[in-house]
Structure 1
Amino acid sequence: MTTPASSKVKKHQFLIAKFEKQQVYHLKPDLWGALNERMAVRFEAAWHDAVGRQHKNYRVRVFQFNDEGLAEMRFCQPGSSRS
């Protein structure tokens, strides 16, 4: 059984490993469009790994907001990458 404390430790370990791998990380959001209660955003992430190889990842996310302005749904396009 997973406890909240062990879950928090696992998340922390995951993030440490992720940021050791993805060094000098840059995130560039680009608003594609908004209509009524939906907004589409394209994200471009650029980073290099521990041996200096450069990588770029792209992803599009569509957010849907409720009447209070809070995000109630998020739709994601699977990301693509380029080394």
Structure 2
Amino acid sequence: MSKILLWISAVMLAIFVVKTQYLTSKTYQPFVDGCMASPSATQGQCECLSDYMHKRYSDREMQAIMDNRLGDELSKQKVELDIKQGSLQCAAP
């Protein structure tokens, strides 16, 4: 019984290490920091918007959005629409 618990704890530790070291977003905090540059934004609103955008776009896409490296006009319009919808959703108390 104790060996089973030892194995379970080892697997849980490995999952925790992988999740915290390799599966965290590299663009989450820079996006929040950029949002906080706005004079009317709050920390909660910026974190909400960052969550909203990161649910819809991968880290690579988020980096392209922040670097303003979007391909075509349709992509730009989609991103602008998502930011607008996310901002409206996060502005509500």
Q: Per residue, is there more strand in 1 or in 2? A: 1
Q: Per residue, is there more helix in 1 or in 2? A: 2
Choose between structure 1 and 2 for higher RCO, CA contacts under 8 A separated by at least 6 residues: 2
Q: What is the TM-score of this pair, normalised by structure 1?
A: 0.30
Q: What is the TM-score of this pair, normalised by structure 2?
A: 0.28
